[in-house]
Every structure is written in C-alpha cells, then in structure tokens.
Structure 1
Amino acid sequence: MLRHLFTLIWNRKRANLLLISEIFFSFVVLFGVGAVLITTAKNYLAPHGFNYEQVWRLHVRAGQGQKMPRAELDDVLRQVKALPGVRTVALTSGNVPFVFNTNNSVFGYKGKKSPVTNVYDADDHYAETMQMPLREGRWFQSADDGSNHRPVVISQDLRQSLFGNGPALGKIFTWDTPDPNPKAQDEFLVTGVVDPVRMESDFSAPIPSVWLRLLPYDTTHWETANVLVRVAPGAGGVLQEKIARTVAGVTRQWTTEVRVMNDDRLHRRMYTLVPVVGLSIIGLFLIINVALGLFGVLWYNISQRRAEIGLRRAMGATGAGIGWQFLGEMMVVTTFGVVLGILLAVQFPLLNAFDLPVQPYLLAIAAAAGAVYGITALCAWQPSRLAAAIQPAVALREE
C-alpha cells in the first residue's frame, strides 16, 4: 500500500512538490513560534528567586546641584525604618528588579570566564528585604568591615560557570580583564551563594548575578539613591506619604518617588508580552492560511481525479478505501515536508543557537510536527469523504 502511495505521489510530483514546500515553510515558522512560546512559558513558571510582594522602591534625589552625604542618607534610612508598617530597608543600586536599568560585566577566575553577569550593589539588609534564600554561606554582615577584599554574594549559575563543582566560599575572583595593580575593591571574596534569580521580568530567563557589598558609613556623596523597603501587608498610600515626608524632612530639598515593585512587575510584563502576542498572532494567521490552502488544493485534486476515483470504485474499491487513500497520500506528502523541516530545526540545538537549552527546541520540534500533521489531517478529512462518496457510474459517465 505504501509503495502504491509513493507511486501516486511521484506521478503528481510537480503539484506535490509545491505542497511539500508549503508544509516545510509552515513547519519552520511553527517551530520558531513554538520555541519562543515554550521558552516564555517555561521562564514564567520558574521561581523568581526572591519575593517581590510587599516591597516598595524609593528613588531619592538631592536638590538641584547638590549631593547627599552618606551619613545623612543613613540617618534617613533609619528614620524610614522606624515608621510603623515598615519591616526592613535596604540600600541598593539603580538596577532594581523589573525596571529598564541594567548594569552588567564579565568576571574571571583562573582562566575561566563568566557569561555576561548582572552586577548589583547591596547593603547588609538586602537579602532580608528581598527574602532571598541562601544555598551556601551567608549574606554580608558587620564582620566584613575589616575584609581585605570586597565581599560578594553570587548566584548559583555564576558559581557554576566560575567554580564548577568545586567549593566557592572563600574564593577570590576579579574582573575579566583585571588591573595589573588591583585594588582591594577589585578583588571579590565569595561569602554566599543564592538561587538563580529572574529580576528582568516574569518571562525572562535567570541571568548570572553578583551582589557587591556597599560599604557602610563611607564618605561618598550621592546625587541619587535607590532604596528597597519591605512593608507590612495592607500598607498603602498613607505610609507612602509618611515616607516621602520623612525623606523631605532631612534638608527640605530631598525628594523621593515611591513605587510598588509589583506594579513595576506588571508594567514590565505587559511590555514583554507585546512581541510574544504579536508573534502568536502571526503564527495563527499562518496556520489559517495553510489550512485554507491545503483544503483548496485537496478539493481541486479530487475534482481533477474523478475519473480515477470512478475507475477504482468500478474495480471494487470501497468508499472507505478511497478516503483512506487520499488521506494516506496527504500524510506521506506531509512527512516529506516535516522531515525536511526537522533536518533544519535540529541545527539550532546542535549549534547552541540563541543560548537556549536543548529541551525547548525538542519540544518545539514535536509541537510543530504535531500541529502540521493535525492541520493536514483535518484539512484532508472532508475532501477524502467527498472522494469516498463519488459513485463510479456518475464519475465514468462524466468522462
């Protein structure tokens, strides 16, 4: 039977070649859309590595042309922390979670090079504020004040890239291109390891990260400061107003913007969803066009082969047999297109394209193949029924 189907397909090779090409390109597009959607869904279901609920961020600015001494800033933080409803307060850098602000670099350790890594500044209360669980070691503490190297906490994925399966605590690494005469602040001492974190958006993959300890009570004069505040459940506008008044009460020239981190997350989610939704619409439009095209081609093939169908029925072929023949032909043609598409798609995981793991690619290949076969079978079903219903006398009389 299969040999007979191949013969029929070969006899109509010119028309079938166009079908195979259409199926091939449909598979490739569905594979690309599937890879994006599967990766996005996988990232969405992964944990963030921290707790953004009940966290606010403060952007504190000094007056125009002025700077805020660190001692005064620390005093403001103590006053904010003392407000009823405030649990913890942490000073950090401007690349707080879910904002369009990044700071990244590359690090090196004994010839090993890290991937591009997010770099955060953090004080001793950052882990408590963000509720980041530690896998190894500890977070920063006052005992680090006398350290000869800058204490850092790294994420598990950065640990793996620099230290592999060996120990990480107590190890010292540097920038990828270290200074020939390094300073103590350019040599980083690992004090702890946390879970991988996703601070860009709900749909982003974990990025290797490092948190550099902000030295307490330094003499730096800052123009702006970014503060994370964990508040009690139910805190709202009243507490936000108290925080703003507390900050402004230091010099009457400082201002602060209070933002809820969960609002930032939802805003970033909508921004990230726009291209994903657009790609999904394009994929759906493609599926509809492919389905209509296949349906029309099969319908036309049946009208052109009525004599062949009538002759087969006159020779004893059943209606079900004719229907299965047309469906089988379409499945064989689909297989040619899918195999060509798979040969192209497997190059992506083999070449480690776009730095994605193998699993999303394999799932996208399976999903694209299943979708193409499903669409083809659905489009071939009704024309196959029409072919099965043709009576031999009617078909031969028309000829």
Structure 2
Amino acid sequence: MIRHLFTLIWNRKRSNFLLMAEILLSFFVLFVVSVLLVNNYYNYRQPMGFTSDNVWEFNINPGQDTINRKETLRRLVQELKATPGVAAVTWTSNTPFSFSNNNTDEYRYKDKGAPQTEIFDTDDDMVKVLGLNVVAGRWYDSRDDASSRHTIVVNQRFADEMFGQESAVGKVLTNDKHDEEWQIVGVVEAFRSGSDFASNDPTIFIRRALQDTARMSNTEQATLLVRVQPGSAAVLEQQLVRKIKAVTKGWDANVNTLAENRKDKLKFVMTPLIALGLVGLFLIINVALGLFGVLWYNINQRKAEIGLRRALGATGNAISRQFLGEMLVVTTLGVAGGLLLAVQFPLLGVFGLATPVYFMAMLLATVLVFTLTAICALQPSRIAAAIQPAVSLREE
C-alpha cells in the first residue's frame, strides 16, 4: 500500500512537489511562531521567586532638595516601619515589573566573564518585603558592615551559568580592571522581575545600605517597597502618604501596588503575544484554504482514474483512504524537510532559548500541520469516494 502511494505521488511529482514546498514553508513559519509562544508559556510556568501581594511601591522624588537626603530617608524608613499595619520596608534602586532595568556584563570570575546580568541595589530588608527564597548561604545583613568587598546575593540562574556545579557562596567576582570586588554570600531560587512571561535571567542583588543613598543624583527617585498586613485598605495608604510628606517636608510621593504594576505589565506584554497568535491563526487559515483548493482540483483532474478504480471494484472507503494516505505521505515529506531546518535552531542557539522549548515547538508545529492536512483532506476524499463510474465516464 505504501509503495503504491509513493508511486502515485511520483507520477504527479510536479504538483506534489509544489504542495510539499507549501507544507514545508508553512511548517517552518508555524515552528517559529510556536517557539515564541511555547517559550512564553514555559516562562509563565516557572516560579516568580517572590511575592507581590500586599506590597506597595512608593516612588519618592526629592526634586532639587539635596540637603540631608540620606538622613531624611533614614528617618522616613524608621517612621514607616513603626506604623501599625506595616510589616517591612525596603529601599531599592529598581522594582519588579518596572519598564526600566539596569543590565551589565562587567563581572568576572577568574578568566570567565559573566552573562548579561540584571542589577538591583537593595538594602537588608528586601528579602523580607518580597519573600525571596534563599536556597544557599544567606541574605546580607549587619554582619557585612565590616566587609572590605561589596556584598552580593545572586539568583540560581547566575550561579549555574557562572559556576556550573560549584557552589556560588563565597565566590569573589571582580571587574575587568580587577580594582573592585564583590563577594557572594547567598543564592536565591529565582527572580523573574520583568513580567509573568519573563525569563529567569541572571540577577545580582548588591547590598547598598541606606546611608549610601547620598550617591543618588538630583534627578534620581528613591523607591520604597512596603509590605503591609493582608487586608490593609486605603486608610493605611493615606496615612503612609501623609507621614511621607510630613517627614520629607515637601518631597513628591506616588504610591502604587506591585499587584497593579504586575497587571499593567502583563497587559503590555500580552499585546504582541496576541498579535503573534493572530498571525499564526491567519497562517493556518490560509494554509487550510490552499490545501483544500489543491485537493479539490486534484479530484476534478483525476475523475477518470477514480471512475476506473470504482469500475474495477474499489469501494468508496478504499478511494477515500487512498486520497487521505497520499496527502499524509506528502505532508510527511514536507514536515521532514521542515524538521531538518528547525533542528538547526537549537544547534546554532538561535533566539538563545532552552533546548526543550525548540523540541516542544517542533512537536506542536508537526501536530498542527498533520491535523490541518487531515481535516483539509477529509472532505475532498469523501467527495472522491462518492464518484460513480458512470458519471466519470460520461464526463470523459
């Protein structure tokens, strides 16, 4: 049966070659779209590494006021911590779900350079506010006050890419000039700060005590993250805003919640994903219409062949299986060519994604193409099965 199908395909090799080329191109485009969609789904299933519920973000802008800035911020943090309903307060240079980040690859360990890494300047209470999961070592604290090196905590992704199977705790990083050092005291599980679909990129948390905030420029805003007790309402929010204005004496303060920032960032990220999904759907519809039209044309061109087979005793189901089998064989050849192209993506590191993402995308694209082909071939094969010998001979 298989040999017979290949013979029929070879006899119509010109039209079948064009059909295989269309399937190959469709598979390849579906594969690329699937890679992006699968990667986002894969990231979505990964742990965030922190909790954003019940965390409020206060963006404080001192404006041109540079007098006693560090002392004012220190008193402000103390006042906020003493407020009933506040569980913890931290200062940070950057926050999760923001539209800006600080990346660098300046770190080195021995002769190995670090990957592109996201940097967060934070204080000792960040671990309490965001509920970070420390899986090795510890979070920095007052024990590091006397350290001659910068104290840092890294996420597991950074540790894996930089040190492999070795423990990251205790390792010392340097810059290119070897005139500055950073010592790792702990490792957190993950930190996906971009969005729900963001990857777990290498991240470093640098200990920057509140007294060091005098290094901020006049235009830089201080950001405080405040963890409040569950169920805290607008009354507490207004109370904290009034306290900020009273302590800072005129500094601007804007408040938002990390949960709201997370939703806003999710909407922003979802827009291109929806557009990508619509492109994939449009492609599938066009491929389906093309396949259906080609199969319909083939049946009209082969009515004499079908009528002759029916006259020789072939059943309608046999005719239907023949057309469906031909289409599946042509699809297999087209998909095989597409897989040869797709397998180059993980080998060459295109997109720089995890290898399982590529293979999941190959599987998804293959299933879509075969399903689409089977659906498109089903109705034309039924039409072929219904052709009667007398009708085809009369048309001839």
Shorter-chain TM-score category?
Answer: over 0.9
Kept in 1, the 8 Å contact 2:60–2:222? The answer is yes
Q: Structure 1, residues 124-157: CA drift from partner, whole Å, max 9, x if none?
A: 1110111001111111111211111111111111
Q: Structure 1 residues 196 and 178 mapped into 2: Cα distance closer, same or farther (>3 Å)?
A: farther
1:306 aligned partner:
303
2:134 aligned partner:
134
Q: 2:181 aligns with which of 184, 187, 191?
A: 187
1:38 aligned partner:
38
Shift of 1:199: 0.4
Q: Structure 1 residues 7 and 386 mapped into 2: Cα distance closer, same or farther (>3 Å)?
A: same
CA distance in 1, matches of 2:355, 2:270: 23
Q: Structure 1 residues 398 and 108 mapped into 2: Cα distance closer, same or farther (>3 Å)?
A: same
2:353 aligned partner:
356
Q: Structure 1 residues 357 and 251 mapped into 2: Cα distance closer, same or farther (>3 Å)?
A: closer
Q: Structure 1 residues 318 and 100 mapped into 2: Cα distance closer, same or farther (>3 Å)?
A: same
2:320 aligned partner:
323
2:209 aligned partner:
215
Instruction: Supply the RMSD in Å over aligned alpha carbons.
Output: 1.4
Q: Structure 1 residues 141 and 242 mapped into 2: Cα distance closer, same or farther (>3 Å)?
A: same
Query: Which runs of 4 or more aligned residues in structure 1 lie more than 6 Å from their structure 2 counterparts after TM superposition?
Result: none
CA distance in 2, matches of 1:144, 1:247: 29
Shift of 1:287: 0.7
**AA at the equivalent of 2:88:** T
1:204 aligned partner:
198
Q: 1:382 aligns with which of 376, 379, 383?
A: 379
Kept in 2, the 8 Å contact 1:154–1:194? The answer is yes
**Mean Cα displacement is larger for which, 77-86 or 234-243?**
234-243
1:366 aligned partner:
363
Shift of 1:336: 1.4
Q: Structure 1 residues 333 and 137 mapped into 2: Cα distance closer, same or farther (>3 Å)?
A: same
CA distance in 2, matches of 1:336, 1:68: 73
Unaligned stretches of 5+ in structure 1? none
1:74 aligned partner:
74
CA distance in 2, matches of 1:270, 1:235: 25
Q: Is 2:158 the counterpart of 1:164? A: no
* Aligned positions of 1:267-282 closer than 5 A: 267-282=264-279
Q: Structure 1 residues 359 and 148 mapped into 2: Cα distance closer, same or farther (>3 Å)?
A: same
Shift of 1:251: 4.1
2:86 aligned partner:
86
**AA at the equivalent of 2:187:** V
1:178 aligned partner:
177
**AA at the equivalent of 1:198:** R
Shift of 1:218: 4.1
CA distance in 2, matches of 1:169, 1:251: 39
CA distance in 1, matches of 2:26, 2:354: 23
Shift of 1:360: 1.0
How many residues are paired up? 392
CA distance in 2, matches of 1:158, 1:394: 72
SS at match of 2:211: coil
* Aligned positions of 1:252-271 closer than 5 A: 252-271=249-268
Q: Structure 1, residues 75-130: CA drift from partner, whole Å, max 9, x if none?
A: 0111111112111000110x210001111111110111211011111111110111
Unaligned stretches of 5+ in structure 2? none
Q: 1:391 aligns with which of 375, 383, 388?
A: 388
Q: Structure 1, residues 283-337: CA drift from partner, whole Å, max 9, x if none?
A: 1111111111111111111111111111111112111111111111111111111
1:112 aligned partner:
112
CA distance in 2, matches of 1:285, 1:73: 54
What TM-score comes out, normalization by structure 2 length? 0.96
Kept in 2, the 8 Å contact 1:33–1:283? The answer is yes
Q: Is 2:95 the counterpart of 1:96? A: yes
CA distance in 2, matches of 1:390, 1:35: 43
Q: Between the two proteins, what is the percent identity of the paired residues? A: 47
CA distance in 1, matches of 2:145, 2:267: 42
2:150 aligned partner:
150
Q: Structure 1, residues 50-81: CA drift from partner, whole Å, max 9, x if none?
A: 11111111111114354552122100111111
CA distance in 1, matches of 2:268, 2:212: 38
Kept in 1, the 8 Å contact 2:323–2:377? The answer is yes
